[in-house]
Structure 1
């Protein structure tokens, strides 16, 4: 196994051990792939979950914020990382107030969706499109 995939493989192993629903595992898997990629891109040479420390968590959050990721998404990803930290016995790091969502600047993200209702013109265009397909609504 190459060194650049060791961290990702370790995180995926822990993901399997954590269990939960299939979609939860898929979501955690995406978070772990992203975390491993960010650690490589930022030059951290960690190869296992046991090596994750506070500076890695801060670097991950900073990198994701610079990428324009929303606060709620970041809070969910941090929940995934905290589950790993607790699993490997780093409860102190997972529960440390210095690495809380509030301290990391990702607290109080809105749960309100960003979607807006379609305008009348957009609804008409959709209905016309569906009629052309032979599926009137």
Structure 2
């Protein structure tokens, strides 16, 4: 069985991810259009739903990270920023740390987000940023 898994990993294209949070064909998967609405509205009750956006390829992961960054650009509310920090801490970093560390562009995007989040005054955001920095330097 380990041989089969090894062969499957070798066959996987460079663009595909080994860790898929949810398939786009699964019930409950969130479309990019719905995710974009959540990112525009920035409703703190809905931001956690972004973890149901199917991330099946590197392009999907890049899209999510860059979209969160764009949503943070003009956001003044610390509660919204805290929700985005939660999304990064509880979903993006644990699932995709390996890819973030390997892909220079992804790492730079995450680092930029962490710098912007660290500029907030909310102590919970600072706690999450410190934890994410620790996770990425292990």
Alignment TM-score, normalising by the size of structure 1: 0.37
**Larger CA Rg, structure 1 vs 2:** 1
TM-score by length of 2: 0.37
